[in-house]
Amino acid sequence: MHEHLDFLKVSSAVVKVAAWIFLCLGFIGGISIFMGLVPESPRWMGLAVCALYAFFFFFFYLIAKMADLMIKIINQFKKE
């Protein structure tokens, strides 16, 4: 399991970056829909888009935090 620590560290960082990108782009898209910059969609859809991308952010960030926790557990077993 120790050979997978580097993969877990890198994948955790990549997933955290992806989570923040999802959040930023989702809020930009949701705000633009809510402000009426996209004429063919209703304004309430902007709030739905923001909520959906906030869910994706929390989901991906949770996955990254679980990978960080796995790294700590593996390191703890390595010390013993």
Domain boundaries, the chain: 2-79
Task: Look up the pTM and report it.
Answer: 0.82
The DSSP output letter for 42 is -
Q: Give start and end residues of each alpha helix (H) in 1-80.
A: 5-34, 44-79
Q: Give the list of residues 6+ apart from residue 38 with CB closer than 8 angstroms, or none.
A: 32
Question: Which of the residues in the chain have pLDDT under 70?
Answer: 1-2, 80
- Model pLDDT, residue 78: 75
